[in-house]
A and B are shown apart, each in its own frame.
Chain A
């Protein structure tokens, strides 16, 4: 159907519209997934630190008692 890579990229003269659509589509979906993975890691790290601190406090309280 396409006579080569250049022909494919030209998209029958509609390159800006087609690639502008697919480009933004791909970038935003990947960005959403990456940002969510980062937020997940941050939340897990923050909660893990807090839980560890609380548990250490408990152990200290018990030792001091």
Chain B
């Protein structure tokens, strides 16, 4: 089935819209299933931590939202490169559609981090490398969205915002490696690509399930937002007419044009 789908065609808005319509129900469903499984394992299977008691359960949303905040920013930078290099407008649509969700995830990682820090470190906030660079990530998201919206000429605004996204991407490795590069109150990496995770299997499973849930949720939301964005930008195009009027008039733009042709002939005779 997958081979028959012409993936390269999905940079065109109508094909993208069609594909997003078919993907989002599965992404929502997957996010709900993984989320329920993750919460079950996180609250009813994983044991309390021997040092932190039950407060460590915040980790099951803190780590996934922090990962998503960084990952979505990398995606935005990637789409920005595609947009700036090949001027593919759907790349900009995807980038701006991802930004609010990336900002939300980053905010949630800071929020859950503060509420985890309070009982474990005795403070909601410290100006150390990990926390400060994550706060900068949140400001980069907000700056990207503000710049994108601020310029009247959408093309110019999109290009300026894409450049900002690219410049800001250096911040992501800084966040990721900050706990190794600087002395930090924040604990080091518990999960790396090379070593086994330094936590119980059930804790690790809950974290991975919640990460999957956040990933699928973000994908569904971003595709939906990109659809709305594409509709607004392409409002004058035939595919939007097909999408919006097609169903109610029992036909597409071609039949509508035919009908108006019939009408013209009728009027003339």
* Docked-complex contact A36 and B224, CB < 8 angstroms: yes
Complex: how many Å from CA A25 to CA B116?
13
Interface secondary structure of A, over-half rule: helix
Q: In this assembly, does B111 line the interface, its C-beta being within 8 Å of a C-beta of chain A? A: yes
Instruction: Give the interface size class of chain B.
Output: 35 or more
Across the interface, B116 reaches (CB within 8 A) one of A12, A17, A43, A58, namely A17
Complex: how many Å from CA A20 to CA B228?
32
Question: For B53, what are the chain A residues with a Cβ–Cβ distance below 8 Å?
Answer: 12-14
* Docked-complex contact A21 and B228, CB < 8 angstroms: no
* Docked-complex contact A29 and B217, CB < 8 angstroms: yes
Interface residues of A in 17-44 (CB under 8 A from B): 17-18, 20-22, 24-25, 28-29, 32-33, 36-37, 39-40, 43-44
Interface residues of B in 19-65 (CB under 8 A from A): 43-44, 47-48, 53-55, 57-58, 61-62, 65
Complex: how many Å from CA A51 to CA B249?
12
Shortest Cβ gap from A56 to chain B (Å): 11
11 A-B pairs, CB-CB below 8 angstroms? Answer: A1-B44, A14-B119, A17-B58, A20-B115, A24-B108, A25-B108, A28-B107, A36-B225, A44-B244, A47-B240, A59-B260
By a beta-carbon cutoff of 8 Å, the part of chain B in contact with chain A is: 43-44, 47-48, 53-55, 57-58, 61-62, 65, 100-101, 104, 107-108, 111-112, 115-116, 118-119, 217, 221, 224-225, 227-228, 231-232, 235, 240-241, 244-245, 256, 260, 263-264, 267
3 tightest CB-CB pairs across the interface, nearest first? Answer: A12-B54, A14-B55, A21-B112
